[in-house]
Amino acid sequence: MVFGVVGLINTGLYYASYLGFRLVVPYVVAHVLALATAMVASFFLNCYWTFRTRPTWRKFALFPLTNATNYLMITVGVLVLVEWLHVDERIAPLVAAAASVPVTFVLSRLVLGERGQPAQLDAAPAQEGVSSRRGRRRRTG
């Protein structure tokens, strides 16, 4: 549910950004800038709100892969729905977008971490008491 709300917020932010950027740059540049703006916002909203995890540079670098997968799935989905299954061209993007949500959610969870896990997903495990670490042998190989 929260993932869907973030998606709606992201779509609204993209469109508002696109319209704003369009006032000062050509539409293609406005589109790219709006996508980047929405992707950054989506990253932080998904980290803090959807998956409750600490954002890291590694996650930030991997996050665009989830969006690229989403766009690819929607594009292929529209083509398949319209050309092969003869779904109305006005409906096909909605069906394709809805079908891509579960896949995008799973990929986002893999990149950002599961909801409810501790914020230090990328950090070293929590330190154990000093006494429990004594005598432990380090494995090699």
Tens-digit pLDDT profile for residues 88-107:
998 988 898 889 889 999 99
d(CA 10, CA 6): 6
Shared domain check, 49 and 80: no
**Same domain, yes or no, for 6 and 38?**
yes
Q: Which domain holds residue 26?
A: 1-53
Whether residue 90 sits in one domain with residue 74 = yes
| 46-56 residue pLDDT tens | 999 988 999 99
pTM above 0.75? no
- Residue 53 CB partners (closer than 8 Å, separation 6+): 47, 59, 112, 113, 117, 119, 121
CA distances from 1 to 25, 75, 84 (A): 35, 24, 31
Same domain, 29 and 44: yes
Percentage of the residues of the chain whose pLDDT score is greater than 70: 80
Question: And the tokens for 121?
Answer: 């997903």
128 occurs within a structural domain: no
Residues 49 and 10 in one domain: yes
